[in-house]
A and B are shown apart, each in its own frame.
Chain A
Amino acid sequence: MANMIDRSAIAETIRHTHPIILLGTLYATFTSLVADPPTLLLQLLPVTIGVQVIHASTCLGSSKAAVASGSKKKTKSASKGRSEDVGANVLTAFLSLFLALAVGVPSIFVVIVLLGAPITADLSHTALCAAHLSVLAGLPLVYSHHVQGSKWRDIVSLNLPMDEVYGGALGACLGAWFGAIPIPLDWDRDWQRWPVTIIVGIYAGYAVGRLGGLALVGKVARFN
């Protein structure tokens, strides 16, 4: 029993600190990000993946209460022993990572180019940007909702009741959108280099979005 409390305490800590860790890493490496975006984004990717996998496998497995849709899985995982659950969770997390990258990177890449990113130059910048967004927004979603068609229809159409995971994902996307705004300004700053502002937007949006998701739990966006 004590073991379980410990575990959930650890999960709680990770749940609250992982956005801070992500933002902190970004802040610490910001100068090199500005200097050479693709290299740093490539180096940063494993860190982000690591943090996200740990977060998914610990928190999303143990704090299903926040995930309104995961009731089925919750009962399933509750019935199983915790110790073997962690291993299985990590495996699921990596599977989710693979899916998120395989589907997320090409589709997000296309959307970014459609939104106006250069089509012949800076391809690695754009691809890495898409990868970061996939890992931050896509991985937890795939982990929580697997590949159920109806669920993903809801996710795409913003029809899913709000929670921390969904809020983080939407926040990351919105952050990326707003991150594009300072690029055209004629301030001649190095950080206006593609895609630095987008990356900052994604990370900041992810952190803020998770909080927003908590605040608006259960709400659904109205379109019309």
Chain B
Amino acid sequence: MESIDDIFAQVPRRTAEKWSKNGPGELEALARATAAAKEENEDRLFAAQKSKALMDQKKREFKISHGLVVLFFLWIAYTQFVGVYLFTRGFLLTRTVLEEKSECNVSPLGVETYLGEVGTGCWHPKTFDKAVIVLIDALRYDFTVPQVDANGVPSKEHYHNNFKTPYEIAINNPENAFLLPFIADPPTTTLQRLKGLTTGTLPTFMDAGSNFAGTAIDEDNLIDQLNRTGKKIAFMGDDTWTALFPGYFDIEHPYESLNVWDLHTVDEGVLTHMFPLLHPENSSSWDIMIGHFLGVDHAGHLYGPDHRAMAAKQKQMDVFVQDLVNAVDDDTLVVIMGDHGMDPKGDHGGESQLELEAALWMYSKKGIFGRIPGFEVPPKNAEERYVGQIDLVPTLALLLGLPIPYNNLGGPIPEAFIGKDGDRWDNLANVARLSSSQIEKYQKSYAAARKDNLDVETRTTKLWREAEEKFKVDSAQTTQDAWRATYETFLNHQKETLHVCKDLWARFDLTSMLLGIITLVSSVVSVLIFGRGISGDLKELTGWLAGRCFAGTAIGGIAGYAFHFSDVSEQGQLKLALFGSAAGGLLAFFASTTAVYRRLQHIFPTSVFSVMALLFTVLQGVMFAANSFTIWEDRILTFFLTSFGAVAFCYSFRQEDPAMRTLGASQSIIFMVLTRIASFSRLCREEQMPYCESTYYASATSSVSSPFSLILLYVVAFAFPPIVRSYYTGTKSYEGPAQLYIGFALQIGLFFNALYWTLDSADNGEWIDIPTAALKSAKHTIAQVVLALAFVAGNVFFAWAQPCLNIEIEEGTPAAEDENSVAGAPSSTVTKQPTARSMIVLGYANLHGSRSLLLPLTWYLGLAILQKPLGGASMAALLWQILALLEIIDSNALSDSPIGPVILAMLGSSHFFSTGHQATLSSIQWESAFIPTDAIRQPWSGLILIGNEWGPQILATIAVPTLALWKQPAKETGLMGKVVRVCATYVAYHATIATCTVLWAAHLRRHLMLYRVFSPRFMLGALVLLISDVVMVLVGVMSVRWNFLSVGEVFGLVN
């Protein structure tokens, strides 16, 4: 009793009063029960500790195996990077751009010779003070010389015998004019030609060192030299000039150049502005006048050469030349030339003879031109005689008294320097010596810039030295024959140097290309075997493979590096080490697969869907061999995607469960319709004309979005979040973080997105009267908020988010549970009450998928704002199509089929086109770097540009793991292995496409369309592969870790 009293003493009075009513007997029982409960609690605590320890161990195991999966995908990415790098180094021709400029008072001959100044001519006495330089785009040589057939009958073609004046003057007054074939260096596109015509150097695909973002020329060039010597330049015509030479012209009248449909605006503009300036009273307002006509070129593109429009254009040009000749004064040099020719269909860009053969006509009333013996009349064609387009650069420079641009490789045109009697070989030898000396100076700087060995005398240097010696000996003799011989030695030097440079800059490094191809092809095979050729759970195998592949990579890298010292290969040690590492890793992979040969299965398709996956991939790979298929890739992708939708629709009818059947069929219809609607948003590439109409911008000649697309953005903002939500509510997964992501972030973010683009349009169109600065800062703030919400908050929260679950307690019989409730939930987390109450876990049916989809959702938000309004709508369509695809895959039980990842990858590629991109350099939307800011801030600007250019592919890549997780049973074993398989299949698709573009680009490296079609497509393919590799590892595969751990936290991890 005393002990009981003690108890009483220890409890508060009110409790004691309550207990005292029950009497002491009850209290004894209570004490026993308390003791028992205490013991039980300890037991429970121990059990909980034990299960926690077990859980921790499972977590550790999962983290390790997941880390190894990440490592393996890193290895794949590394190998593919090596392959692309090796191929690119051999394939993309590069030339180092030197920024030195020639100086007027620094002659390449040294100081002992002629010392000039601006007034009299820098390196050589000048001949002209003024010049009118007229470029008639695509003026082919045969347009300018009389064409007769074998019987002497004039040609009846529309493009012949219309443009006669230059030829007639050159024949009748040879001292006033000459006409020559004017050979372009490919690629024969206007931009590249203008570079060649002003710098005198050879174009390559990419001039390393040049500012990739802008088109402005940073090499020494004629226009820059004119500016530096204080000449006033008037320009009118094709606006490519003002892009290349911003701020260089004192008078400028640029016209839009890409509208092929318009034959007259540019030409009329040139004519209107040129003749008033030629009037004597305006002659002091300019020194050099440049005009660029486009009518002939556009007539060729639009109708082809043999058309009335071409004849009319040529006749108009003929009249123009007559007027010009009458209008210029005696001291003005007139140059009329084509920048390239055209092929029989009127197009250009390639390297065929007709495209290369332009015409050059020089005229002056001074009568200083002569002929070299044997070429008294204009040649019939370039086979007889020609001059290079780069030869114009030293010719013009010396005639106008300018220094020859530093990088020039051309030589003076003899007709302009030989004198009207054709006997001034001394003059010719002197100007040739100037050119050669400058070329030699350039070659030395180039060798120094490339860190070549300067002590060894090259062949061209030897030629130059010999010519110089000969010049010094012969200059004493002063006979014209001796001068002629001297001239020829310099000419020889120039030709040889040009030959060497062409060889150097146009040479593919076939060994490097081959190493790249070997690496890429083996990588495709290895990923295919890994993703489709191994049966069973891939998870634990991946870890085992990752270790071996990394060991192989390291050993191979060291071996490759060591191989460099054997001097067997000329390749650099970096290349050898890289190839060695890739080869080592791949060999280790293939050797390892033989160890698990029991699990190997053949990868040839046996079912309709796997045949489709293979067929789509192979057909796409093959189609890059043809330029027309490559050009129409956007339509072909639409065709393939809709075909998949149609087959999925049909297949859905096999499902016995009517709910599943309806779901599959309806989602297939949504998929098809969205594919077709998205295909209406496009930006046509030049080659698609005239069968294509751009819709991405308000009109074909602007880069402003139409008001309609803004309205579309508001529709997306209001209608899209409920649509996404409907994919969650079906499995009652619209719980927890899903509400935050969809109901809050997506809703707000999409509204801000629409607001941003409204402000942007208001800014561009000056709709409202708000100071631009205020408007700009407002829209930048909005964009930054959305980007922070999507990429920072969205990603960080994803790591901490709970699964999309809710728990409801229902009174009633447990038998009433539907499929969303847990039947045998583990006791550690969900307890079934012994009474009739049962707990229903909402969202259990799509436990993994609903949470894993949050990541694509938040990335969608960030990537959408980087697209123009129509692109933002296209991204919404993409996400909806991904959702439909997830349902199609699930309702038809296709999660093991390769069709899911292949279609997902194709969706990304397809929306690349519907977001206003093309596989051309010109379609890159550089201005998107300024969406959240008004200054370039690396690395952010670069990342934003990547997000704009490859946003659709990035979004598709992030959604890949969800494909394996959508509506999968939470407790299913091998789910991680499924994720690995799906990711590998996705990488295999992109790797196959990239490898095919690489193979075709290598095979067709001498093809006409290399620069326009195959090279850009190869660059796109390679970049998409590398980007999807990186995003796959760092975002896709990594995100699975948080997903599994978060789900495991609630329901326990299953291996």
> Which A residues fall within an 8 A CB radius of B?
111, 113-116, 153, 156-159, 177, 180, 184-186, 221-224
Chain B 618-637: CB-based contact to A (< 8 A → 1; otherwise 0): 00000000111101100110
Across the interface, do B638 and A116 meet the contact criterion of CB distance under 8 Å? yes
Across the interface, do A158 and B650 meet the contact criterion of CB distance under 8 Å? yes
| Selected contact of B628 from candidates A111, A114, A184, CB within 8 Å | A184
Chain B 633-649: CB-based contact to A (< 8 A → 1; otherwise 0): 00110110011011000
Complex interface: chain B residues within 8 A of A177 (CB): 643
Segment at the interface with A among B314-322, B746-754, B890-898, B935-943: B890-898
Across the interface, do A158 and B608 meet the contact criterion of CB distance under 8 Å? yes
Interface size, B (range):
20 to 34
Across the interface, do A115 and B627 meet the contact criterion of CB distance under 8 Å? no
Across the interface, do B608 and A221 meet the contact criterion of CB distance under 8 Å? yes
| Selected contact of B654 from candidates A113, A115, A223, CB within 8 Å | A223
Across the interface, do B628 and A224 meet the contact criterion of CB distance under 8 Å? no
Complex interface: chain B residues within 8 A of A115 (CB): 638-639, 642-643, 646
| Known contacts A116-B638, A184-B636, A185-B629; A224 and B650 CB within 8 A of each other | no
- Bound together, the chains give a CA A169 to CA B912 distance in angstroms of 35
Q: How many Å from the CB of A82 to the closest CB on chain B?
A: 37
- Bound together, the chains give a CA A158 to CA B648 distance in angstroms of 11
Complex interface: chain A residues within 8 A of B221 (CB): none
| Known contacts A116-B679, A185-B629; A156 and B650 CB within 8 A of each other | yes
Q: How many Å from the CB of A179 to the closest CB on chain B?
A: 12
Q: How many Å from the CB of B157 to the closest CB on chain A?
A: 19
| Selected contact of B650 from candidates A113, A157, A180, A222, CB within 8 Å | A157
Q: How many Å from the CB of B740 to the closest CB on chain A?
A: 36
Query: Does B8 count as interface, using CB distance less than 8 angstroms?
Result: no
A-B contacts, 22 of them at CB < 8 A, read A114-B646, A115-B639, A115-B643, A116-B642, A116-B679, A153-B653, A156-B653, A157-B650, A157-B651, A157-B652, A157-B653, A158-B651, A184-B632, A184-B635, A184-B636, A186-B631, A222-B606, A224-B609, A224-B892, A224-B894, A224-B896, A224-B897
Complex interface: chain A residues within 8 A of B654 (CB): 157, 159, 223
Summarize A's interface: helix, strand, loop or mixed.
loop
Across the interface, do A224 and B893 meet the contact criterion of CB distance under 8 Å? yes
| Known contacts A222-B606, A223-B651, A224-B609; A116 and B896 CB within 8 A of each other | no
- Bound together, the chains give a CA A116 to CA B638 distance in angstroms of 7
Q: How many Å from the CB of A135 to the closest CB on chain B?
A: 20
Complex interface: chain B residues within 8 A of A158 (CB): 608, 650-651
Query: Does B88 count as interface, using CB distance less than 8 angstroms?
Result: no
Chain B 664-683: CB-based contact to A (< 8 A → 1; otherwise 0): 00000000110110010000
Q: How many Å from the CB of B309 to the closest CB on chain A?
A: 19
- Bound together, the chains give a CA A7 to CA B652 distance in angstroms of 42
Complex interface: chain B residues within 8 A of A114 (CB): 642, 645-646, 672-673, 675-676
- Bound together, the chains give a CA A216 to CA B608 distance in angstroms of 15
| Selected contact of B639 from candidates A116, A153, A156, A224, CB within 8 Å | A116
| Selected contact of B626 from candidates A180, A185, A222, A223, CB within 8 Å | A185
Complex interface: chain B residues within 8 A of A156 (CB): 650, 653
Q: How many Å from the CB of A100 to the closest CB on chain B?
A: 17
- Bound together, the chains give a CA A191 to CA B824 distance in angstroms of 66
Query: Does B607 count as interface, using CB distance less than 8 angstroms?
Result: yes
Across the interface, do A113 and B676 meet the contact criterion of CB distance under 8 Å? yes
Q: How many Å from the CB of A57 to the closest CB on chain B?
A: 28
Closest to B669 in A: A114
- Bound together, the chains give a CA A159 to CA B608 distance in angstroms of 12
Closest to B691 in A: A184
Complex interface: chain B residues within 8 A of A111 (CB): 642, 646
- Bound together, the chains give a CA A128 to CA B639 distance in angstroms of 20
Q: How many Å from the CB of A184 to the closest CB on chain B?
A: 4
- Bound together, the chains give a CA A185 to CA B672 distance in angstroms of 25
Across the interface, do A116 and B676 meet the contact criterion of CB distance under 8 Å? yes
Closest to B897 in A: A224
Complex interface: chain A residues within 8 A of B606 (CB): 222
Complex interface: chain A residues within 8 A of B676 (CB): 113-114, 116
- Bound together, the chains give a CA A115 to CA B647 distance in angstroms of 12
Complex interface: chain A residues within 8 A of B673 (CB): 114
Closest to B651 in A: A223
Complex interface: chain B residues within 8 A of A221 (CB): 607-608
Q: How many Å from the CB of A81 to the closest CB on chain B?
A: 38
Contacts A114-B642, A224-B893 known; 5 new A-B pairs at CB < 8 A: A114-B645, A114-B673, A116-B676, A223-B651, A224-B896
Q: How many Å from the CB of A45 to the closest CB on chain B?
A: 24
Complex interface: chain A residues within 8 A of B627 (CB): 186
| Selected contact of B608 from candidates A153, A184, A222, CB within 8 Å | A222
Q: How many Å from the CB of A151 to the closest CB on chain B?
A: 12
Across the interface, do A186 and B894 meet the contact criterion of CB distance under 8 Å? no
Across the interface, do B609 and A223 meet the contact criterion of CB distance under 8 Å? yes
Complex interface: chain A residues within 8 A of B897 (CB): 224
Q: How many Å from the CB of A123 to the closest CB on chain B?
A: 16
- Bound together, the chains give a CA A222 to CA B654 distance in angstroms of 11
Complex interface: chain B residues within 8 A of A222 (CB): 606-608
- Bound together, the chains give a CA A224 to CA B676 distance in angstroms of 26
Q: How many Å from the CB of B722 to the closest CB on chain A?
A: 25
Q: How many Å from the CB of B689 to the closest CB on chain A?
A: 12
Complex interface: chain A residues within 8 A of B638 (CB): 115-116
Complex interface: chain B residues within 8 A of A223 (CB): 607-609, 651, 654, 892
Complex interface: chain A residues within 8 A of B639 (CB): 115-116, 180
Taking CB atoms and an 8 Å cut-off, the chain B residues in 563-608 that contact chain A are 606-608
Complex interface: chain A residues within 8 A of B652 (CB): 157
Among B609, B639, B893, the most chain A Cβ lie within 10 Å of the Cβ of: B639
Across the interface, do B629 and A184 meet the contact criterion of CB distance under 8 Å? yes
Complex interface: chain A residues within 8 A of B894 (CB): 224
Closest to B672 in A: A114
Q: How many Å from the CB of A73 to the closest CB on chain B?
A: 23
Complex interface: chain A residues within 8 A of B635 (CB): 116, 184
- Bound together, the chains give a CA A54 to CA B652 distance in angstroms of 34
- Bound together, the chains give a CA A117 to CA B428 distance in angstroms of 64
- Bound together, the chains give a CA A116 to CA B892 distance in angstroms of 26
Chain B 864-900: CB-based contact to A (< 8 A → 1; otherwise 0): 0000000000000000000000000000111011000
Q: How many Å from the CB of A185 to the closest CB on chain B?
A: 5
Complex interface: chain B residues within 8 A of A224 (CB): 607, 609, 892-894, 896-897
Q: How many Å from the CB of B534 to the closest CB on chain A?
A: 19
- Bound together, the chains give a CA A158 to CA B642 distance in angstroms of 18
Closest to B688 in A: A184
Complex interface: chain B residues within 8 A of A159 (CB): 653-654
Complex interface: chain B residues within 8 A of A180 (CB): 639
Among B627, B631, B635, the most chain A Cβ lie within 10 Å of the Cβ of: B635
Complex interface: chain B residues within 8 A of A116 (CB): 635, 638-639, 642, 676, 679
Q: How many Å from the CB of A87 to the closest CB on chain B?
A: 35
- Bound together, the chains give a CA A161 to CA B679 distance in angstroms of 36
- Bound together, the chains give a CA A221 to CA B647 distance in angstroms of 12
Complex interface: chain A residues within 8 A of B629 (CB): 184-185
- Bound together, the chains give a CA A115 to CA B646 distance in angstroms of 9
Q: How many Å from the CB of B655 to the closest CB on chain A?
A: 9
Taking CB atoms and an 8 Å cut-off, the chain B residues in 397-445 that contact chain A are none
- Bound together, the chains give a CA A224 to CA B629 distance in angstroms of 30
Complex interface: chain A residues within 8 A of B642 (CB): 111, 114-116
Q: How many Å from the CB of B502 to the closest CB on chain A?
A: 30
- Bound together, the chains give a CA A113 to CA B896 distance in angstroms of 31
- Bound together, the chains give a CA A221 to CA B651 distance in angstroms of 10
Complex interface: chain B residues within 8 A of A184 (CB): 628-629, 631-632, 635-636
Closest to B895 in A: A224
Complex interface: chain A residues within 8 A of B675 (CB): 114
Complex interface: chain B residues within 8 A of A153 (CB): 653
- Bound together, the chains give a CA A208 to CA B168 distance in angstroms of 66
Q: Which 4 A-B pairs have the closest CB atoms?
A: A157-B653, A184-B632, A186-B628, A157-B654
Closest to B629 in A: A184
- Bound together, the chains give a CA A157 to CA B661 distance in angstroms of 11
- Bound together, the chains give a CA A177 to CA B607 distance in angstroms of 19
Q: How many Å from the CB of B891 to the closest CB on chain A?
A: 12
